[in-house]
Amino acid sequence: MGLWRGLRGHGWRIAITLLPVLAALAHAAGLLHLPGVERLDAQIQDARLRLHAPRGTDPRIVIVDIDESSLRAFGQWPWSRERLSRLAAEVTQRQQARVLAFDMVFAEADRASGPALLQALGQGRWPAQPAFDAELTRRAAAFDPDGDFARTLAAAPGRVVLGVHFDGEAVTPSSAAASPVAALPTPVLPANAVPPGADRIPDWPALVASLPGRSTGARVGFINVVFRPGQDGIVRTVPLLARLDGASGGYYESLALATFRAATGSAPPLLRLAQAPGATPRLTALSLRAPEGPGMTVPVGMDGSIVVPYRRGRADDTHRFPYISARDVLEGRLPAGALQGRIVLVGASAAGLQDLRATPIAAALPGVEVHAHVLSGLLDGRVPHVPDYAPGYAWTSLVLIGLLLILGTALRSVAAGFAIGLGACGALLLLNDLLYQHGGLVLPQAAALLAGIAGLLLSMSWGYFVESRDRRGLMRLFGAYVPPQLVDEMAREPHRYSMRAESRELTIMFCDMRGFSHLAEHMPPVTLQTLLHEVFTRFSEIVNRHGGTVDKYMGDCLMAFWGAPVVQIDHADRAVRAAQEIVAALPAMNVRHAAAGLPAVAIGIGLNSGTVVVGNMGSALRRSYTAIGDAVNLAARLEGLCVAHGVPIVVGESTVARVPHRHWRALGEVQVRGRQQGERIYTPEAPAPPGAETDR
């Protein structure tokens, strides 16, 4: 009942509070674009990743780095195939690495070809030497660095992965004729692997492959990083699969996934799809079957991507993986077998090669290390991803936040409402953190957090600027009549209260001091004023404590009523208890009066219940909030019967009928002036002890 009243009393405030929730729902539905939401989600994801990322160096993966030192030693990039062939032979044969993967594409023929070598040696610049020129031509024709490189890779079948690159523009015949074009490698999955309508995997019109081609037996993996429109250029997610358009197209795996399969001997991935009745299938995971063991399931997003499972270096080591300079490898500085059983990735950290990426853990991370992080996560089975039900989760979070905001706004306590709102936002953060830690789930939460915080701020602003204004208005109207706690209750639904006259069932009290005329004649005015002030202050405190409204002070008489302006179902019981407490407070009050040299006070109280007119009454010059009617007149008449019956409280039968659980002593029936029928009157027994309070 209290919640329903709160909802009705705060309609506008609830509507204002829900505006951010409605905007966030429109954003989640694609009807409204809020750019700050995606950015905040990404920043929360980055902070959570840094908090929970495993620390230390992963020794299973080694990066052979084409760094500044290597470029100074061997010249600018690209290097000759002969040098790369020596590097591959060193890693696969002498070092016995488990897998060698190149984070680069060898799309063009070696510049040190036979004709180029002849030109470099100056053929035709000296006097003709037929025998020498013939031998030089024969040797140049036999010089085949690309072939040597291919033969080196073929000597390690299944242990080498070459990079390929998807291109946004298809290769034209004219551009293809300018240089040799590598044959397209075989895709890991055919073009029909994903049912129509379910394919959200990124697609490309062209694929740039490496020249060694299929003859080497090397696997291939694409090295592209895909950014969605509007992203800030930070590498957070990578696709594990990408599709080549066209009749000869198909699905290719990423460099990290191809390297992982080469290291574990896994078969090509199988796609796992989820489909609700009547809905389009959705990609949820990749199944990797290993020669030994149960295999592995890699959860992915609907676009085949995962969140890069970055690692964190230790405090004294920024490298997450061992780095070895390519110069050290080519110059044979490593002991034989130093890389045995390791997975070796060849990449570049030299700034001039432009393969540095902005990531959540570093502003400039070598691109090869992004692949290393993905590979490390696959080896650990630590693969964060955005699940297919992420949009539904966002909607559910927003609806729950909205409901909690409504509950918090409808509560009577502002502090409780604020605590509920903040608690909901904190619980959402905690839930997402637990889902990330234990399920690898990366779920949207920025929209719900922003909606919750904005809703709280709007609710507080509305309460401060609007409802506080209404409260001040109520204080001006009723502050002089009703206790502060009732004003607080009225302020929760200010629209329900006004000075407009209305019929209401009330219980009215008249409390009169006996012998006041005699006191007024024999007491100095200031002393009389002090006495009245103390007596009326004490009586008014008791009336207020029991939820009554002080109507007026009439000389030595106090008039009060219960049931207005706030409706009180138990108004009769409250009035009786207040009357009993006033009577019970007299002895202690008279003791203080005697000590101060003041006369003792005696009182008479009349109580009566009935329907009266209550509201702002008076003239254009002076008005007051009061009650008028027959029930009011009868209460005044009953107060005058206290002396005749020798009791301090006289109660009318209408009040007694509303408080049947109390004990009453009948005083008989009296004929009240102005009434034709007699009125049965009573007095309560067992008066309440001093200081007794009523439940509000």
Tell me which of 341, 365, 380 is where a domain ends: 380
564 and 638 in a single domain? The answer is yes
Q: Each residue of 494-522: pLDDT tens digit?
A: 555 555 678 999 999 999 988 777 777 77
User: Residue 270: is its pLDDT beyond 60?
Assistant: yes
Whole-number average pLDDT of the chain: 81
Cross-strand bridge partners of residue 628: 613
Which two tokens mark 303?
A: 């676009």
Give me the number of domains the chain comprises: 3
Domain extent, residue 576, equals: 498-684
Percent of the chain past pLDDT 90, that is, above it, reads 32
Q: Is 436 among the domain residues?
A: yes
In this predicted structure, the answer to whether residue 385 has a pLDDT above a threshold of 50 is: yes
- Give the residue-averaged pLDDT of 605-617: 90
* Percent of the chain surpassing pLDDT 70: 78
On whether both 571 and 635 belong to a single domain, the answer is yes
What pLDDT digit, counting tens, does each position of 25-76 carry?
887 777 777 878 888 888 889 899 888 888 889 999 999 999 999 999 998 8
Confidence of residue 368 (pLDDT cuts 50, 70, 90): very high
- Residues 7 and 155 placed together within one structural domain of the fold: no
The pLDDT value recorded for residue 656 is: 95
Q: Based on the domain organization, do 355 and 411 belong to the same domain? A: no
For residues 376 and 411, membership in a common domain is answered with: no
CATH classification of the domain holding 579: 3.30.70.1230
Query: CA 445: distance to chain centroid?
Result: 4
pLDDT over 90 (residue 409): no
6 contacts 492 by C-beta, under 8 angstroms = yes
Residue where a domain stops, chosen among 380, 401, 417: 380
Q: Please tell me which residue, 546 or 35, carries the higher pLDDT value.
A: 546
577, part of any domain: yes
Residue 693 included in any domain: no
**CB-based contact 39:447 (threshold 8 Å):** no
> How far is the CA of 473 from the CAs of 367, 409, 465, 477, in angstroms?
66, 21, 13, 6
Q: Are residues 422 and 543 in the same domain?
A: no
Does the residue 491 lie in any domain? no
DSSP structure string for 4-15: HHHHHHTHHHHH
- Reported confidence tier of residue 144, pLDDT bands at 50, 70, 90: low
Mean predicted confidence (pLDDT) in 389-402: 86
pLDDT of residue 692: 46
Confidence of residue 665 (pLDDT cuts 50, 70, 90): very high
| Rounded distance between C-alpha atoms, residue 488 and residue 40, angstroms | 39
**Judgement on whether residues 373 and 397 belong to the same structural domain of the protein:** no
Question: Judging by beta carbons within 10 Å of its beta carbon (0-12, 13-18, 19+), is residue 94 exposed, middle or buried?
Answer: middle
Lowest mean pLDDT among 114-123, 567-576, 587-596: 114-123
Measure the CA–CA gap between 656 and 38, rounded to whole angstroms.
67
Rounded to an integer, what distance in angstroms lies between the CA atom of residue 97 and that of residue 338?
A: 9
How far apart are the C-alpha atoms of 680 and 173, rounded to whole Å? 115
Mean pLDDT over 102-106 rounds to 91
**Domain check: are 163 and 269 in the same one?**
yes
Q: Is residue 480 part of a domain?
A: no
Residue with the larger pLDDT of the pair 205 and 182: 205
Cβ proximity of 255 and 239 under 8 Å: no
User: For residue 37, which phi and psi values (nearest 5 degrees)?
Assistant: -70, -50
Check whether residue 157 and residue 240 sit in a common domain: yes
Is residue 29 domain-shared with residue 158, that is, in the same domain?
A: no
Do residue 533 and residue 422 come from a single domain? no
Same domain, 46 and 85: no
